[in-house]
Amino acid sequence: MRWVFVGASTIASQYMLGAVRAQEGGDVAWVASGSAQHGADWASAHNVPKSTTDLAEALADESCDAVYISSTNEKHLPQAMAAIAAGKHVLCEKPLAMSVADAADMVKAAEAAGVTFATNHHLRCSGTHRAMQALIAEGKIGKVLSLRIFHAVHLPPHLQGWRINDATAGGGVIPDITVHDADVARFLLGEDPQRVVAQMAASGMGEGVEDSAMSVWTMPSGAMVMSHESFTHPFAGSGLEVHGTEGSIFAKGVMTQEPVGDVELVTAAGRTAVEVSRHNLYEQGLEDFYSAVAGTGRAAADGPDGVKSLAVAMAVRDAAQTGQAVDVDYGDLT
């Protein structure tokens, strides 16, 4: 599968380029960037044959099968729609769009065109999260009562930019991290949040956007989810706790792009370290994407997954802005 990369981004160079090349026959033929110089420099540094500022030029290459989008958030909708119209399969970074309606339109367009559309939620591809999901599904902790997600980190300088100062590009910790945590909760518990309450703040990094948020979500099963995200916490660490009637799962250092962290199961029988796979998260995501394209499996996070994680994040922001409990609006993808 030959790819067009849209956005000469850090995640594209550090993670996705290698993940594509790790697949049998995987290759990146084009990079499309808003800056001709940046795109050319990126292509040269990473041995990508062609760069352009004209996405249509890259999409016209019939030898390319798929498009990976990692541009700023406000560009996702037009770029994805152009790729779908060109008959390409699409893997888009989260959040899919600036609104739930736009994200849903992307998914519907891909379905109508008969192409695979997926969201690059990497966390559900990790060995730690998949091991936790299996423990919950197997009933190891009984009925789930609550989930705590702590994902307050320090955003490194090279990733700051628009994420901390440009609301029009989709900046802010809620569209950047809360959307991931929404997907994690849905993945682990197998259900969609119904109502949220929240607060947000600018705690030292945000310039016109929030850089910290805390929220509580109610689930259809009655389980409660508490979620904490930040760009400003250099020493907090990250992790998950899932508490049930028959046990608890503690995961430390797992909210990351790397295959690291530890998972422990605690029950009446005692504490047990859980064995987890240490595979590359992005290679797993690409492997699942290829299976979806081939019709032999599903994408790790498909289009509706991306729409729903965005819907939860938008509800969190609305709740924080209004000071009221907000029902999550999934549009017509309920």
DSSP 304-319: HHHHHHHHHHHHHHHH
Q: Is the pLDDT of residue 334 over 70?
A: no
**Residues 320-330, mean pLDDT to the nearest whole number:** 97
Q: How does pLDDT run across 3-39, given as a tens digit for each residue?
A: 999 999 999 999 999 999 999 999 999 999 999 999 9
Beta carbons within 10 angstroms of residue 84's beta carbon: 24
> pLDDT at position 166, please?
79
Question: What is the three-class DSSP state of 60?
Answer: coil
**Residues 63-86, mean pLDDT to the nearest whole number:** 97
**Residues 96-109, mean pLDDT to the nearest whole number:** 97
- Residue 52 β-bridge partners: 32
Please state, in angstroms and rounded to a whole number, the distance separating the CA atoms of residues 55 and 100: 24
Q: How does pLDDT run across 175-231, given as a tens digit for each residue?
A: 999 999 999 999 999 999 999 999 999 988 888 889 999 999 999 999 999 999 999
Class of domain 123-279+310-327: alpha beta
Angle in degrees, 0-180, between the axes of helices 179-189 and 303-322, rounded to the nearest 10: 120
Looking at the chain, which runs of residues are DSSP E strands? 2-6, 27-32, 50-52, 66-69, 89-92, 117-119, 144-152, 195-201, 212-218, 224-230, 239-244, 247-252, 262-267, 270-273, 326-327
Cα angle vertex 310, ends 305, 312, to 5°? Answer: 100
Contact 28, 3 (CB under 8 A): yes
Q: How high does pLDDT run on average in the chain? A: 96
The CA distances from residue 33 to 52, 73, 94, 254, in Å, are: 6, 14, 18, 32
Q: Is the pLDDT of residue 60 over 90?
A: yes
Please give the model's pTM, rounded to 2 decimal places: 0.95
Query: Where exactly are the structural domains of the chain?
Result: 2-121+284-297, 123-279+310-327
What is the architecture of the domain spanning 2-121+284-297?
3-Layer(aba) Sandwich (3.40)
